[in-house]
Chains A and B, each alone.
Chain A
Amino acid sequence: MDILTWGRNPWDQPVLTHISWNLLWAALFAGLAFLVAHASYMIFSAHRKRHAAETDAMEIARADLPDRIVRHSLPARLFHWLMAAAMFTLLITAFLPVVGLRFPWVTWHWIAGLTLTGSILFHIIHATVWLDFWSIWVGPRDLPELRAELLRDLGHDVPGPRPGKYPLGNRLYHLAIVVVALVAVVTGLCMMVRIRTPFFTRNPYLFSDTTWGVTYVDHGLAGVTLVGLVIAHVYFAARPEKWWITKAMILGWITRRQYLEHHDPDRWAVRQLPTPNSATPNSTTPNSGLASPTL
């Protein structure tokens, strides 16, 4: 199986053009294989969850917390779904023609790419200024949590740390998507110089042949990796035991019980808000106190 596709220039020198589309099938296969493997593991595993009694006790102890706890603010949710729409458009316009469903895709692709770029810029500023910037990143301080989570997965009842706002898996996924999406975005922005856009004169000689080849290969690698990552993401979002997180990305809040069951209140401290938050318009209990954690 070829990994790269080479062309030959008129001097018969090899020129790197792009990745081999075999890699698309490899990424699809890897994504689906992970899905099947994880699903069958979940059926047979002895994953250790917090006992209901344990959570009941905690809920009584923390009755001062409101019923609903804001997990994702409206701007954060809008960003997420805009980015998702852009990402799906990008993947569809990129790969449907490759698998044989042909249509004029280039204009849609770069418009979606610019949308993604814009939403990412917004997200960086929003997360830096208004959100708890560090809550999504992973580092050495997460090793105890990793160990505890692994042991729980193996069926042990361990007291170790529970996740803060984002579970470890979430944070690792975010890291992967940051790296891959930034590669795709940066290379994609460079590649816009090679096509016709209203912004600048097309100039395929901006970089040398080799640099362009590497740019296209990086863009392609990031693209097929995104196929695998998006499959995994959609899979987790659709899993029943993760549905409460997915719901939070739609509605914005989680219940007090979910908060206590899955999170470490010390690592994701909820502070009481003086007034109700309009971020939960669907709230059926308007009198219930609302809390905004340190986002």
Chain B
Amino acid sequence: MAVIRDVMPAFELFQPTSVEAAQAVLDRYGAGAWVLAGGLDSLDWLKDRIRRPQAVVDLGAIAELKGIRERDGGLEIGAMTTLTEVVRHPGVRERYAILLEAAEAAASPQIRNQATIGGNVSQDARCWYYRAGWPCYRAGGNICYADTPDAINREHAILGADRCVAVNPSDTAPALIVLDAQMVIRTAGGGERVVSAEDYFVGPGIDITRMTVLEPGALLTAIRLPRTWAGAQFYFEKIRDRQVWDFALVSVASAMTTSGSTIERIRIAVNGVAARPLRLRAVEAVAEGRPRNEATAVVAANLAVEGAQPLGFNAYKVPLMRNLVKRAIRGVEAAAWTS
């Protein structure tokens, strides 16, 4: 929808310096308020006139939301920390390299310099029917334009669709899920709520108009990386059409610890296949305690795509996801690609 018009329609702009002040503005404007982090998702909505908020609350001036701190032997990343800052942080590089890889895979250098990790996990679906302002389920209507016999749905979901077949576009989400990251939320009432990354995302069955558990007026303030998976063996891969800008067609992330050739513990998550990033619990259960070899990888990968329901143009995602899961268990060199 890249259509240049003059400037965006007018809105009030607030630049509070504390979370409390930001929430006061959100409360004052209610449904007319819009939270602005890096702006890469927001400004598209506003420029296209699909969303027309009365007031925009820029979180950029809130110091407590920025930076990466040590916490309980792990790290706490402020929600307004840019992806570039995450990529360059030595603690992330040493202990949580998978998050570095995932953040580095997002968009383009300039976008990573500006986009925040909080915005990356909270961004909206990129289904173009939805983005173009069609009155679909996600927009509060009663129709999915992407799941019809003749819809253009090459990038859409193969799993977990409930009326809406959009996928979650976040690159860091699967990495955060395998790291068992804890999302720190300031609720609209001012309380603190911590949910695991896995539960931070909601599918359309639960709430078709939202991507995350963030209620109106609530803010994601920080992401905590616990010690649990620090320094584990990681695997991250993102498949996309162009190596820059594009969102994942399918991405996979895994963290595992092995003793000898046996998989001791493993966590594995995929994105780009459902409206929320999926943690593959069944795959984890099957892989744990088994040798890390082709046979285990094949069993796990076949299990991963069980129940997949491709749409008109995205059946390729089934073998893609299956092979990525295989690689996430065996590593890219060892795993044989099967179509």
A 186-212 binary contact with B (CB < 8 Å = 1; else 0): 000000001110000111110000001
Other than the given A105-B205, A196-B309, 4 more pairs (CB < 8 A) read A17-B135, A107-B162, A196-B147, A212-B143
In B269-308, the 8 Å CB interface with A consists of none
Given contacts A202-B148, A216-B142, contact A104 B206 (CB under 8 A): yes
Q: Report A190 CB to chain B, min CB distance, Å.
A: 12
What are the residues of chain B within 8 A of A102 when measuring CB–CB?
A: 202, 206-207
* Interface residues in B105-144 (C-beta closer than 8 Å to A): 132-135, 139-144
Beta-carbon nearest neighbor of B132 in chain A: A10
B145 at interface by CB-CB < 8 Å: yes
Partner of B142, one of A10, A105, A194, A205: A194
Q: Closest chain B residue to A103 by CB distance?
A: B206
B147-158 interface bits toward A, Cβ cutoff 8 Å, 1 = contact, 0 = none: 111000000000
Minimum CB distance partner of A105 in chain B? B205
> CB-defined interface of A201-242 with B at 8 Å, one 1/0 digit per residue?
111110000001000100000000000000000000000000
Given A103-B206, A106-B205: A10 in contact with B148 (beta carbons within 8 A): no
Q: Is B51 an interface residue (CB 8 A)?
A: no
- In whole angstroms, how far apart are the Cα atoms of A1 and B162 in the complex? 30
Q: Which residues of B contact A7 (CB under 8 A)?
A: 135, 139-141
A10:B206 contact, CB within 8 angstroms: no
B163 touches A (CB below 8 Å): yes
**Which residues of the other chain, A, contact B134 by a CB distance below 8 angstroms?**
9-10
- Quick check: A17 and B206 within 8 Å, CB to CB? no
Are B142 and A104 neighbours in the complex by a CB distance under 8 Å?
Answer: no
Is B162 within 8 A of A10, CB to CB?
no
CB-CB contacts below 8 Å: B146-176 with A = 147-149, 161-163
- Asked whether A141 is an interface residue with its Cβ less than 8 Å from the other chain, the reply is no
B135–A194 CB distance below 8 A = no
How many A residues face the partner with a CB closer than 8 A? 24
Write 20 A-B pairs (CB below 8 A) sorted by A numbering: A7-B139, A8-B133, A9-B134, A9-B135, A15-B135, A17-B135, A17-B142, A103-B206, A104-B206, A194-B142, A194-B143, A194-B144, A196-B147, A196-B162, A202-B147, A202-B148, A203-B148, A204-B143, A204-B144, A212-B143
The closest CB in chain A to the CB of B49 belongs to A12
Please indicate the chain A residues that have their CB under 8 angstroms from the CB of B202 in the complex.
102
CB proximity of A73 to chain B, nearest CB, Å: 40
Query: With an 8 A cutoff between CB atoms, is A162 at the interface?
Result: no
Contacts of B144 in A (CB 8 A): 194, 202, 204
Per-position 1/0 for A123-137, Cβ under 8 A of B = 000000000000000
Also in contact, A106 and B206, with CB within 8 A (given A7-B135, A201-B149)? no
Nearest CB in chain B: distance from A128 CB, A: 35
Does B149 lie within 8 Å of A203, measured CB to CB? yes
Closest to B215 in A: A100
**How far is the CB of A137 from the nearest CB of chain B, in Å?**
35
**Contacts from A to B (Cβ < 8 Å):** 5, 7-10, 15, 17-18, 102-107, 194-196, 201-205, 212, 216
- Return the chain A residue nearest B134 by Cβ: A10
Chain A neighbourhood of B139, CB < 8 A: 7
Measured in the bound complex, the distance between the Cα atoms of B139 and A212 in whole Å is: 16
Is the CB–CB distance between A106 and B141 below 8 Å? no
The interface residues of chain B lying within 8 Å CB-to-CB of A194 are 142-144, 163
B:193-211 near A, CB below 8 Å: 202-203, 205-207
B147 touching A17 by the CB < 8 A rule? no
Docked CA distance A74–B139 (Å): 47
Residues of B within 8 A of A104 (CB): 162, 203, 205-206
Rounded to whole angstroms, the CA-CA distance of A107 and B133 in the bound complex is 27
Q: Is the CB of A204 within 8 A of B148?
A: yes
Q: Which residue of chain B lies nearest to A191 when distances are taken between CB atoms in the complex? A: B142
Q: Quick one: CB contact mask for B232-268 with A, threshold 8 Å, 1 for yes?
A: 0000000000000000000000000000000000000
A9 and B130 alpha carbons, distance in the complex (Å): 11
- Min Cβ gap A112→B in Å is 16
> Can you list the 10 inter-chain pairs with the closest CB atoms, starting with the nearest?
A7-B135, A104-B205, A7-B141, A204-B143, A17-B141, A102-B206, A216-B142, A15-B135, A102-B207, A17-B142
A residues near B141, Cβ cutoff 8 Å: 7, 15, 17
In the complex the two chains form, what is the Cα distance from A283 to B236 in whole Å?
A: 71
CB contacts (< 8 Å) of B161 on chain A: these are 196
Instruction: Give CA–CA (A219, B189) in the complex, Å.
Output: 36
Of all chain B residues, the one with the shortest Cβ separation from A201 is: B149
B144 to chain A, nearest CB (A): 7
Task: Let me know if B148 and A106 touch, CB within 8 A.
Answer: no
Output the least CB separation between A10 and chain B (Å).
Answer: 5
Instruction: Report which of A8, A103, A201, A202 forms a contact with B135, defined as CB distance below 8 A.
Output: A8
Contacts of B143 in A (CB 8 A): 194, 204, 212
A201–B141 Cα distance when bound, in Å, is: 20
The distance in angstroms between the C-alpha atoms of A104 and B203, with both chains bound, is 9
CB pair A204–B135 under 8 Å, yes or no, is: no
B296-336 vs A, CB cutoff 8 Å, 1 = contact: the mask equals 00000000000001000000000000000000000000000
Q: What residues of chain B lie closer than 8 Å to A9, measured between beta carbons? A: 134-135
Give the distance in Å from the alpha carbon of A105 to the alpha carbon of B206 in the complex. Answer: 8
Q: Are A106 and B163 in contact (CB under 8 A)?
A: yes
- Residues of B within 8 Å of A201, CB to CB, are 149
Assembly CA distance A9 to B132 (angstroms): 9
